[in-house]
Amino acid sequence: MGNDARQYAPSAARNRDPIWEVLRPHLPARGLVLEVASGSGEHTVHFARASDSELVYQPSDPDPLARASIDAWAAASGLANIRPSIALDAAADVWPIECVDVVVCINMIHISPWSSAVGLMRGAGRVLPAGGLLFLYGPYRREGRHMTPSNEAFDQDLRRRNPEWGVRNLEGVADLAGQAGFGPPAIAQMPANNLSILFRRTE
Ligand SMILES: C[S@@+](CC[C@H](N)C(=O)[O-])C[C@H]1O[C@@H](n2cnc3c(N)ncnc32)[C@H](O)[C@@H]1O
């Protein structure tokens, strides 16, 4: 595959270092990290490059053009700790992978129907062991309120584009996580009014 399949997400270039600073201390030295909704693949490559070679990354996306981009970025990186991308729809009852150590999902649940958030939590609960980490990143409402006017405008724009999309309530996402066997969230405030949210599977 030629490198011309690579897509460039300006937001990924901006947020990958702040996300890595929060995520890095919680990652194991070795194991398998599943990224759900990898998009262009730039986060996977950035994280894999900064990780020990025994920490292996499994990127995924339901969109074939995204998977072509992911695999092109991985090939260009020359890194051995990135697996070929897989087609994974978070909302599906069965995922094409059974057991991982970490699940990472960046900027997906507000740009997808609520069923994707439900499926993400259930799926992460299925594939993670007790103690396993689910890491989310994106904009959230808290107790029904937007964190900033710009997040509210972003939410309105999302809902105009697709009525099933929208900035989610952190409490609703935490409830889903609890039902899927995760403990309460650890929350880090991020640049541009985003949050990093870390859940540990308890059961
Ligand atoms: C805004 S992009 C974010 C991509 C990347 N994580 C980033 O931050 O640059 C949203 C991604 O979510 C993916 N997506 C949408 N619905 C999904 C679902 N149900 N399961 C998995 N991925 C989904 C899309 O294909 C797209 O690649």
| pLDDT tens readout for residues 91-143 | 999 999 999 999 999 999 999 999 999 999 999 999 999 999 999 999 999 99
Which residues of the chain have a pLDDT value below 70?
1-3, 203
Q: Confirm if 60 and 123 have CB atoms less than 8 A apart.
A: no
38: CA distance to ligand 1 center in Å?
6
Instruction: For residue 11, give the ligand 1 atom closest to its CA.
Output: 9
Q: Which amino acid is it at 76?
A: A
Measured in Å, residue 39 CA sits from the centre of ligand 1 at 5
Q: What pLDDT score was predicted for residue 1?
A: 47
Cα of 51 from ligand 1 centre, angstroms: 23
Token match 């072509």: residue?
68
Q: What is the pLDDT of residue 3?
A: 52
Listed in sequence order, the residues at least 6 apart from 173 whose beta carbon sits closer than 8 Å to its beta carbon are 109, 117, 121, 136, 140, 185, 197
Give residue 166's identity as a one-letter amino acid code.
G
Query: Which residues line the pocket of ligand 1, CB cutoff 6 A?
Result: 9, 11-12, 36-40, 43, 61-63, 66, 88-91, 106-108, 111-112, 116
pLDDT of residue 149: 95
Cα 100 to Cα 56, 75, 88, 164, 196: the distances in Å are 10, 22, 14, 29, 20
Q: pTM here?
A: 0.97
Q: Mind listing the domains of the chain with CATH numbers?
A: 3-200 (3.40.50.150)
- Residue 3 has a CB neighbour count (10 Å cut-off) of 10
